[in-house]
Amino acid sequence: MPTDAALFTPNLTGRDYTTPDLRAKLTGAARYAEDFRAEGMLACRLLTSPMPHARVARLDTRAAQGMPGVRAILTADELPPPADSVADSGATIKASPWAEPALSMEPLHQGAPVLAVAAVDDATAVAAIEAIEIEFAPLPFVTDPLDSLRPGGPDARTGGNVWLPPARAGEQAAVGRLKWTDEDFRAAGPGRLPMGKAAAEWSYGDVEAGFRQSALVLDESFVTPNVSHQALETRSTLAWWENGKLFLAAGTQSTIQTVPAIARWLNMDPKDIVFLSEYTGGGFGGKITASVSVIIPALLSRKANAPVMLRVTREEEQYIGRARPSLAGRMKAGFSPEGRLLALDLFVVQDNGPYEQQHDAAIAGRMGSLLYQPQAMRWRGVPVLTNTPVRGAQTAPGGLQVSAFMGPLLAKAARRLNLDPLDVCRINAPAGRAPVGPPRPDGTLNAATSAFVREALDKGAQAFRWGERRARPADAGTVRRGIGVATGCFVAGTVGFDGLFVITPEGRLRIHCGVGNLGTESFSDVQRVLADAMDVPWEACEILWGNTARHLPWSCISGGSQTIHSMSRAALAAALDARRKLVGIAAATLGGVPEDYDVGGGRVFRRGDGRGLSLGEAARRAIELGGAYDGHECPDDVHGMTRTAVAALAGQGLVAVARDAFPRDGQSYSYVAAFAEVELDTETGMYRITDFHAEADAGRVVHPRAFGGQMVGRSMLGIGHATTQKWFYDTRYGLPVAKRFHQTRPPTILSMPERFTWGAVGIPDPQTPVGARGIGEPPTGAACAAVLCALAHAMGDDAFIRAPVMADAVLAAMEPENGKNRANRPRGLSANV
Amino acid sequence: MCDHDAAMSRPAGMTRRQFIRSVIATGVVSFSVPLLPARGGAAARTAPGTVERLVTLTVNGMRRRVDVLPNETLAQTLRGKLGLTGVKVGCDRAECGACTVLVDDVPVYSCSTLTHSVLGKAILTVEGLASPGGELHPLQQGVLDEQGFQCGYCAPGFLMTALGYLKTNPDPTRQQLAHGVSGNLCRCQDYDKILTGLLRGAEYMRRG
Amino acid sequence: MATVRDGMPHFDLYQPDSVEDALALLDRLGRGAHMDDGTDGPLRAWVLAGGLDCLERFKDRIRRPSAVVDLARVGALRGVRREGDETVIGPMTTLAEVARHPDIRERFGLLAEAAAQVASPQIRNQGTLGGNLSQDARCWYYRGGWPCYRAGGNICYAAAPGAMNREHAVFGARRCVAVSPSDTAPALVALEARLVIRNAARTRMVAAEDYFLGPETDITRLTVLEPDDLLVEIRIPPTWAGTRFHFEKVRDRPVWDFALASIAAAMRQTGDRIDQARLVLGSVAARPWRLPQVEAALAGRPREEAADAADLAVRGAVPLAHNGYKVTLARNLARRAILGQPPGAPSLAMGASGLMGAPDPSPARQTGKEAS
């Protein structure tokens, strides 16, 4: 699609500005969920499971019930059955019996909520929980996916251990049982991931022929860590009821889309839910919509007939927050002498956690096919259930892991083939409308809307001075340097959402925004496009967000970095609707036909003589004219929730509302090329990242500072996976020993690379009229892999079998006799050691 | 497994009987801020030599009379009793810095400070930075001008730590300032923009 | 009964303003009353210094003292002074004050450096030297409330099959494999500091080396402090003033993290020859782990020649399943201390002097009022 200059002239778009939410964040005025207070508010605390898998054998709450100040106790039998849901396509999605319940008498991981108490204060609620008599009968548990796949290995759930795809078309995936044979494990040998029967697979091209033609075939295994999201704001929630309506204050990534999610959990009408979430203290995929922390206080509040605040502690957040699944990967890859990837056979075992199927393993296959463009590829995956905390999508789910798998592999291939790793990245990089797996039923592949990864690699290499660094002689002494380059990619946009704003009689633009505000600033950034398309100054715009009582339109979830793409299109669509209505009003008011008029400079005016109306005058006329002009009529193609909002706004001014119906051919992805240099002290195992550069291919940059914030922040997230963040488990008891920040080690400000720079190639995506794609996800995989490549460059290609690489791993690689080279130990392919 | 968990579920250091007794005494009077008992109950019994409950705190330049339990943290008092919810609690275990306030100009984790330990000292929270008329503190203005922070949950703590540090070193290098605020975690990891904003704020402060 | 790991239990709070009053309180409350049924042992008063170790344990509801004696108002326990040629530090002096105090920096930079590398700036502002020395073990089983030996039980979970013990002991473990987490303890042992302990009845002075206990002596505590004891002074003799020091702390993150291993060394040299040395490892045993065999091997030798003595540092080490790297690390740290190498290249020194956690560079702070 050509970018039509008449639709959109970037003026504010592409420039820095101060977002409307920032001042409150800096003065303490911003209210996050736990900052709310309500008259008569009760404190809610959870009784959680001490065991990885158990059945509650005895429960006696009488002593707690009888305590003064205890107002209500909520148990699992009081939960409503979750409702089926309806996809945007209209298809019914049946409520899954395998889904995470808010409370359970058969907890599937330590920290799983069993019941909840509401009391007049926190101390009383705590005392009540300690007064509850409860006995747990232990059940078999497993915390390592490979243990569960062994013959006779334990199942995380009584119904099975693996997510299996639907047996027949039209059915839903379900949990079943899958065990491998002893021979499967024996065949792998030490340090290699066994490959038994997969739960799902796909392929294209002739993989075996590709290997036969290859000059080099590598067979690598690697394990990525389980990493909790650990948003700084835990998922505390305040719930109260008024006249049959449920009010909730909670952090979320997606304001409007959270409402139907809550409605489904509670089996109630979305119209009866008001959701407040003006500020959210971080999400990273962990707060995409609702979770059990919203459901529990909602039900307790109804039962106790008082507002209920569930304050979620940091340790509880570790349990009922979300985490990225560890993936164990085995990659067989065949290369031409020039380093071209001729065939890739990727096998992935996923630590799924106990509940809903996670898609990291599958997405790893898809992103691998796009990012490295193998001429033939097979993907196989097994999502294995474990009795560990609940997983969820985390920034570039599957995308990060496949970069961590493949980045070091490409670098190793380069060294084996005596090539520059940069050239191997380059020769395999997607370009233009690059094909992407898995294959469609007819065997053909999907295509990306665009890719300019070579441009990013070239520009980045120049900024990083890759060639110069590569030419430097090898180090002598105990300090070693290593450099690495790697790429990352992820989904970066969806289509079909709604834009909505009102031109008020005062001539201002009141923009209704259903996007969550989790700090990426996209809720505001996309409106810059709207202001440009309306040719109004930013000061004329006001954004309403974070409260569903403010009549918000149907918006994308703020996950998968789709907002900047999806909602800039929706904003533009609404702006075009406003322009259509403005010229219509002008023609009806001043004579002539709409085509005689144009919109600009805060007016609608006739070309030629300039006669026209101010926006305020036009808004007043819209109210007089009624109908679609002031929202008394609403287009049919917008979402039902948007229609509800429009009905509420009718008569307030010129109501602009439209669904994004701009065409798009292909799937939208964004890409990052990352470059890292490490200095590693082989005597202590400590290292630091001295230089780091990330170069983005994410289309047009809408808000440079916010874009840079994503480039740095999401790179740091990937660097955390490469350097310090992981879980540790006691395998005998199936319990985590690392639960606090100082044990799970999120990066600090001093973990930053010494020099950190970023750039963007900035070529607009041709398949969206704004030209912008999302940037939140792809830096993670690129950064993680670039650092792993640099470490492998410093320490040797086979030094590390898992990420993160901490001092103990470096020292073990230096002196395998002391560390007994853990790659060769029985737990060598476990993530949590 | 069983013996382990049975033992784990028993609270250390207190019998159930005594514990429940103390709970019953811990005040069940209803009030609007339920995270802390405000008055009455066991905490009200004042053993000889123990601290007075009704105390005066100097917060953001104002003297505030407040009823403080012996086991109350400064973060609880500021948030729960004085409504200063700009003080954020991210971990409640001295591991994230979101709760940082200045006590006599020194940054401390208010989650890990007993309120009674800071009586008589000047406490400054993020709410005390801007002028009563709403004019931002130069440090806030610097961050605003550089669009520092993403989700903002760590922002108040970072601002207070930076202010405390800048009082000792008004013209730091970027690296020095990074060390100065290294006891604050940002999970959006917007560290680069945060430093840029704080440095600009430091510059505004030096210019007055 | 169900377990909750969040919520500070009630206690009576006492805030004496003199050492005498504090001692009287501890005499009255320190040993505490037994429980009605005697099953859970005595409840007793808890001495509160900076609070960073113990408030966490209270909030976790793992420690529930009936009374807390807060030393914040005991001015006599705070500050640094000279008594003759000894430097005397009050245990309530904050780690930040220790790290920037001119006398300590000039004469005992080893201690200043160790204090500067503790945790984070705020923790150094709040945490005290006495508290850092006297803090409890950080074994993640023990801190997590597992009923292990150290908690009065009859098993060490960290040494059992399937355990995760990358941060545990390689020396001196007996049943319990927890390590001393203190950064300043090895420095004070190296400097031959003496600690003055008082209770209502008597005053005693112990060598820093004897202040810390291994599990062979007492498996439930890391120091000799009795419930009614108060650490009142840390005295550093002039013995090692101004000699060559080496402090290095290896950790996963440059902020907050406890050491995987650390070393504090003091060496008296004539030219390049080491006349006398004290080397102490941290976080490898339940107490600061002195290396007498290395010290003996160094005496009288040029340091380049003596570097091999570092191998003696790890003689007798017994690694667990996941901490074999500590053996390598301990030897390397000893070697670097002997050679006097800067900890890695300057740019590499995560957690080493001059970069991470360096003493506050501001001269304004060095002359602050609290430095007196």
Nearest chain A Cα distance for residue B25, angstroms: 10
B175: nearest Cα among A755, A369, A87, A325:
A755
- Is C358 in contact with B169 (Cβ distance < 8 A)? no
Q: CA triplet A252, A256, A259: central angle to 5 degrees?
A: 80
Q: Is B174 on the interface with A (CB under 8 A)?
A: no
User: pLDDT-based confidence at C151, cuts 50/70/90?
Assistant: very high
Closest CA to A433 of A664, A744, A661: A664
Mutate to test the interface with B, among A17, A21, A27, A314 (most CBs of B within 10 A): A27
Tokens of A343: 């065939």
* DSSP per residue, chain B: -HHHHHHHTSPTT--HHHHHHHHHHT-----S-TTS--SSSGGG---TTBPPSEEEEEETTEEEEEE--TT-BHHHIIIIIT--TTS--SSSSSSS-TTEEEETTEEEEGGGSBGGGGTTSEEE-GGGTS-TTSPPPHHHHHHHHTT--SS-TTHHHHHHHHHHHHHH-SS--HHHHHHHTTT---SS--HHHHHHHHHHHHHHHHH-
Domain annotation for chain A: domains and CATH numbers:
22-29+496-659 (3.30.365.10), 33-139+237-310 (3.90.1170.50), 200-227+323-493+666-824 (3.30.365.10)
CB contact under 8 A, A120 and B34: yes
Q: What is the mean pLDDT of residues A164-174?
A: 90
What does the alpha-carbon distance between residue A751 and residue A686 come to, in Å, rounded to a whole number?
12
Query: Chains contacting C with at least 3 CB pairs below 8 Å?
Result: A, B
Distance from CA of A580 to the nearest CA of B (A): 35
CA C21 to chain centre: 26
pLDDT category, A17, cuts 50, 70, 90? Answer: very high
Please state whether beta strands B54-59 and B122-124 pair in parallel, antiparallel, or not at all (unpaired). Answer: parallel
The residue-averaged pLDDT of C113-138 equals 98
Task: Name the amino acid, one letter, at B135.
Answer: E
Is residue A375 over pLDDT 50? yes
C chain contacts of residue B18, beta-carbon cutoff 8 Å: 35-36
pLDDT band at C1 (very low <50, low <70, confident <90, very high): confident
Chain B positions in Cβ-Cβ contact with residue A558 (cut-off 8 Å): none
CA nearest neighbour of B127 among A30, C122, A546? A30
Phi-psi region of C84 (alpha: psi -120 to 50; beta: other; left: phi over 0): left
Q: How confident is the model at residue C4 (pLDDT cuts 50, 70, 90)?
A: very high
pLDDT tens for B123-161 read: 999 999 999 999 999 999 999 999 999 999 999 999 999
- Which position has the token pair 């080493």? C352
Scanning B119-178 for CB atoms below 8 A from C yields 161, 165, 168-169, 172, 175-176
Query: Per the structure block, which two tokens stand in for A611?
Result: 């006669």
Question: What percentage of chain A reaches a pLDDT higher than 90?
Answer: 93
Residue of B nearest to A36 (CA): B85
A818 confidence band (pLDDT: 50, 70, 90): low
CA distances from A657 to A70, A557, A594, A768 (A): 49, 19, 19, 19
Inspect the interface and report whether the beta carbons of A130 and C164 lie closer than 8 Å: no
User: What CA–CA distance (Å, rounded) separates A49 from C192?
Assistant: 48
Residue A526 has pLDDT above 50, yes or no: yes
Q: Do C64 and B8 touch (CB under 8 A)?
A: no
Residues of A in Cβ contact (< 8 Å) with C319 = 818
- Are C360 and B117 a contacting pair at CB < 8 A? no
Q: Which of B92, B168, B183 sits opposite C59 (nearest CB)?
A: B92
Whether the per-residue pLDDT at C341 is higher than 80: the answer is no
Q: What is the DSSP string of A96-154?
A: PTTSPPSS-SS--STT-EEEEEEESSHHHHHHHHHH-EEEEEE----SSHHHHHSTTPP
Give the per-residue pLDDT at A814.
Answer: 87
Q: What is the pLDDT of residue A6?
A: 65
Interface of B with A in 64-123 (CB under 8 A): 79, 83-93, 95-96, 98
Mutation choice for A interface testing from B9, B67, B71, B189 by most A CBs within 10 A: B189
Angle, alpha carbons A783-B94-A109 (nearest 5°): 70
B14 in reach of chain C (CB within 8 A): yes
Using the beta-carbon criterion (under 8 Å), do A284 and B93 form an inter-chain contact? no
Q: Distance between CA A690 and CA A677 in Å, rounded?
A: 6
Average pLDDT over residues A426-448: 97
Q: Are A379 and A201 in contact (CB under 8 A)?
A: yes
Given a cut of 50, is residue B27 above it in pLDDT? no
Q: Are C282 and C182 in contact (CB under 8 A)?
A: yes
Query: Where do the domains of chain B lie?
Result: 2-44, 54-207
Percent of chain C topping pLDDT 90: 85
pLDDT digits (tens, 9 = 90+) for C168-189: 999 999 999 999 999 999 999 9
Residues of B in contact with C364 (CB under 8 A): 168-169
Which CATH number is correct for B54-207, 3.10.20.30, 3.40.30.10, 3.10.180.10, 3.60.15.10?
3.10.20.30
Q: SS3 of A34, please?
A: helix
CA triple A409-A410-A413, angle to 5 deg: 90
Helices of type H across C260-349: 292-298, 303-306, 325-339
Q: Please give the average per-residue pLDDT across C60-76, as a whole number.
A: 95
List the one residue out of A79, A130, A131, A139 whose CA is nearest residue A104.
A79
Among B13, B17, B161, whose Cβ lies nearest the Cβ of C122?
Answer: B161
Cβ contacts from B onto C, under 8 A: 155
pLDDT band at A90 (very low <50, low <70, confident <90, very high): confident
Res C370 pLDDT > 60: no
- Quick: pLDDT tens for A252-278: 999 999 999 999 999 999 999 999 999
> Scanning every residue of chain B, which has its alpha carbon at the shortest distance from the alpha carbon of A139?
B1
> Is the Cβ–Cβ distance between A408 and A797 less than 8 Å?
yes
- Chain A residue numbers with beta carbons less than 8 Å from the beta carbon of C147 are none
Q: What is the DSSP letter of A265?
A: H
Average pLDDT of chain A, as a whole number: 95
Amino acid B132: pLDDT: 92
**pTM strictly above 0.80:** yes
What is the full DSSP assignment across A693-715? Answer: EEEEE-BS-S-HHHHHHHHHHHH
What pLDDT score does A824 carry?
39
| Token pair of C193 as six digits | 């500091």
ipTM: 0.97
Question: Which residues sit opposite A135 in a β-bridge?
Answer: A58
What gap in Å lies between CA A37 and CA B83, rounded to an integer?
9
Contact C36 B73 (CB under 8 A): no
Secondary structure of residue A810 in the 3-state scheme: helix
- Does B2 lie at the interface with C, CB-CB under 8 angstroms? no
What local confidence, expressed as pLDDT, does residue A74 receive? 98
In chain C, which residue's Cα lies nearest the Cα of A122? Answer: C7
Label residue C41 by pLDDT band (50, 70, 90).
very low
B25 falls in which pLDDT band (50, 70, 90)? very low
Q: Residues of B with CB below 8 A from C355's CB? A: 175
| Higher pLDDT among residues C254 and B45, named by residue | C254
Residue-level pLDDT at B16: 36
CA nearest neighbour of A41 among B38, B112, B153: B38
Alpha-carbon distances, residue A446 vs A68, A666, A690, C211 (angstroms): 63, 7, 39, 70
Minimum distance, in Å, between the CA of residue B85 and any CA atom of chain A: 6
Dump pLDDT digits (tens) for A182-207. 999 999 988 899 999 999 999 999 99
Question: Which neighbouring-strand residues pair with A242?
Answer: A245
Structure tokens at C145: 């409330």
Interface contact B86-A29, CB threshold 8 A: yes
pLDDT digits (tens, 9 = 90+) for A301-356: 999 999 999 999 999 999 999 999 999 999 999 999 999 999 999 999 999 999 99
Strand partners, A596: none
Mean pLDDT in residue range C115-123: 98
> Which residue on chain C is closest to A58 by alpha carbon?
C1
Instruction: State pLDDT tens for residues A449-502.
Output: 999 999 999 999 999 999 999 999 888 789 999 999 999 999 999 999 999 999
Nearest-by-CA chain A residue for C145: A737
Contact state of C160 with A732 under an 8 Å Cβ cutoff:
yes
pLDDT score for C32 = 57
The pLDDT value recorded for residue B35 is 56
**What is the DSSP secondary structure assignment for residue C128, as one 8-state letter?**
B
Residue B5 pLDDT: 33
Which runs of consecutive H residues, i.e. helices, occur in A321-373? 360-372
Minimum-distance CB partner of A684 among C163, C250, C347: C250
pLDDT at A22: 98
- pLDDT, one tens digit per residue, over A674-727 is 999 999 999 999 999 999 999 999 999 999 999 999 999 999 999 999 999 999
Angstroms from A754 CA to nearest CA on chain B = 9
Helical H runs in chain C? Answer: 19-29, 54-59, 95-100, 102-107, 109-116, 121-126, 129-134, 140-143, 184-190, 208-211, 292-298, 303-306, 325-339, 363-366
Backbone angles phi, psi at A378, to 5 degrees: -125, 140
User: Residue A468: its pLDDT value, please?
Assistant: 97
Average pLDDT over residues A56-77: 98
A97/chain B closest Cα distance in angstroms: 29
